[in-house]
Amino acid sequence: MAEVSGSRRVVIVGGGLAGLFAARALRNAPVQVTLLDRAEHHLFPPLLYQCATGILPEGKITYPLRELLKNLRNVEFVLAEVTDIDAQRRRVLARRPLGEQMEFGYDHLILAAGVRQSYFGHDEYAAFAPGMKTVEDARKIRRRIFGAFEMAESAGDATERARWLTFALVGAGPTGVELAGQVREVATKTLRKEYRHIKPEHARVLLFDGGSAPLAMFGPKLSAMAVRDLKKLGVELHMGSIVTEADPKGLQVKDHDGHVTRYEVGTILWTAGVQAPPLAAAVAKATGAGQDRAGRLVVGHDLAVPGHPDILVTGDMMSLDKLPGVAEVAMQTGYYAGRKVALESQDKTQDKPFKYHDLGSAAYISRGRAVVSAFKMHFGGFIGWVVWLFIHIGFLTGWRNRVGALFGWWYAFTRDLRRNRGFTIDDMPIAAYSPADPAASSPKTPAG
């Protein structure tokens, strides 16, 4: 990227939806933009669960950042992990892939680094209960799900077989509900005729949540629809249940009455809670910014860190008016931040505070069933499913990804085919579950 004398320097941290929309809003501004990300691709997180259950390959929900940014002549991409900032000197500190330190000066800094999975103080659970925030997380979950059926097929006794055919999901938000429905569909449709010694349709899917109902944030009507559809699928709902202990062979939960129950399960998937990345704490220390309970940075209605108008926070990393961590918030805050910087680079000001326009939410339950909340309307069933399809096709980046997703859905929904489920014995986390392995009970066992 050719340097323009006198132009302002803008650093964007994160190439997700917020970072990408900020970069696009700056395309015609007289600024030099450096976008930093620890991944070389842009990811569409709402479809990670479809990658995890074999419907879509990761290439259909990701897009190379360099390809996306190649026509933005004032934007440069650098593969690096941001570790800290120096707010006084206006410097971003980052680490290259092999560990070398780098620094980037800025006049404006836009933070769009997203969030990570929260285990509520039990990070040791991550070794055997993967969350779903990255492509690698989706790969792990895919190996766990399909690997569990393989382990059940060759199990030596009925008890071991039953454990491997039991799946526990912790968290009944959209991710947990969508993933629970897909595991049941894998068992009852995709795999139902592929095994000789087990009946995949006998697989149990247990959904745990401390709240009173799944998808509570969608309102009582849609939550009730989700309960009905999940039960039809055969998902076992355990609401009002808090996980108190977990290990590679199962988990222990406590209900509202204080009763504690142990469940022997072969696969635990963690879909509850998020927390800000370590960078948020570093920024808070450098700027004095406040953080909410999840560690997200508290900002004003101009998205700026109080006392630091040159630092804007967007997307999931931002805490403002209890806005949800959804794609629409990321896109709108990213565009606002980029537009604000673009105006200031032309000696203009953005007088209007950020205002979120809620375009609705949607959650996939199973084939032909979804729930949608949009424009004060709440509906589900087949119509909700069709609307869900159009929403997600529209949000995917690139026409190749959109066409590829349509073909993937066609095979999965009409022929029960999930072709993206390849793995080998070396990919399976057998050591983490083997009773002969002395490390089996260790929370530091590699996730595999």
For the chain, the domain total comes to 3
Task: Identify whether 1 is part of a domain.
Answer: no
Could you tell me if 385 and 445 lie in one domain? no
- Among residues 313, 345, 377, the one where a domain terminates is 345
pTM of the model: 0.89
- Cα gap 19→135, rounded to integer Å: 18
Closest CA to 333 of 303, 310, 353, 308: 303
179 and 38 in one domain? no
150 noted as active-site residue:
no
Return the pLDDT at 6. Answer: 54
Whole-number average pLDDT of the chain: 90
Whether residue 437 has pLDDT greater than 50: no
Chain centre to alpha carbon of residue 371: 19
Angle at 418 between CA 414 and CA 420, to 5 degrees: 145
Q: What is the mean pLDDT of residues 226-251?
A: 95
Question: 280: domain CATH number?
Answer: 3.50.50.60
Residue 440: predicted pLDDT: 41
- Decide: helix, strand or coil at residue 212: coil
Q: Which domain holds residue 403?
A: 359-417
Q: What pLDDT shows up at residue 54?
A: 92
Domain boundary among 345, 377, 395: 345
For residue 391, the model assigns a pLDDT of 81
The span from the CA of 131 to the CA of 268, in Å, is 9
Same domain for 129 and 52: no
Task: Provide the pLDDT for residue 361.
Answer: 86
265 and 163 assigned to the same domain: yes
Q: Please state, in angstroms and rounded to a whole number, the distance separating the CA atoms of residues 330 and 94.
A: 23
Higher pLDDT, 404 or 236: 236
Q: Is the pLDDT of residue 82 over 50?
A: yes
Residue 5: its pLDDT value, please?
Answer: 45
Distance CA 249, CA 94 (A): 39
Asked whether the beta carbons of 286 and 85 are under 8 A apart, the reply is: yes
Confidence of residue 224 (pLDDT cuts 50, 70, 90): very high
Same domain (yes/no): 21, 103: yes
Instruction: Give the per-residue pLDDT at 175.
Output: 93
* Percent share of the chain, pLDDT over 90: 73
Same domain, 107 and 130: no
Residues 230 and 298 in one domain: no
Given a cut of 80, whether residue 236 has pLDDT beyond it is yes
Residue 200 in this model has a pLDDT that exceeds 90: yes
pLDDT higher than 60, residue 431: no
Question: Strand, helix or coil at 73?
Answer: coil
Segment 142-160, tens digit of pLDDT: 999 999 999 999 998 999 9
Residue 50 belongs to a domain:
yes
Are 13 and 136 within one domain? no
Please state which of the ranges 32-41, 169-178, 366-375 shows the lowest mean pLDDT. 366-375
The pLDDT value recorded for residue 420 is 87
Same domain, 207 and 72: no
Domain CATH code at residue 435: 3.50.50.100
Residue-level pLDDT at 430: 57
Residues 177 and 308 in one domain: no
Q: Is the pLDDT of residue 447 over 60?
A: no
Q: Is 265 in the same domain as 125?
A: yes
The pLDDT of residue 304 is above 50? yes
pLDDT at 423: 84
Residue 438 has pLDDT above 50, yes or no: no
CA distance 349 to 352: 9
Indicate whether 247 belongs to any domain: yes
Q: Which residues contact 405 (CB under 8 A, 6 or more apart)?
A: 47, 56, 60, 61, 392, 393, 396
Task: Please identify which of the residues 81, 124, 160, 178 carries the catalytic annotation.
Answer: 178
Q: What is the spatial distance between Cα 276 and Cα 284, in angstroms, rounded to a whole number?
A: 11
Task: Give the tens place of pLDDT for each residue, 323-354.
Answer: 988 889 999 999 999 999 999 999 998 889 99
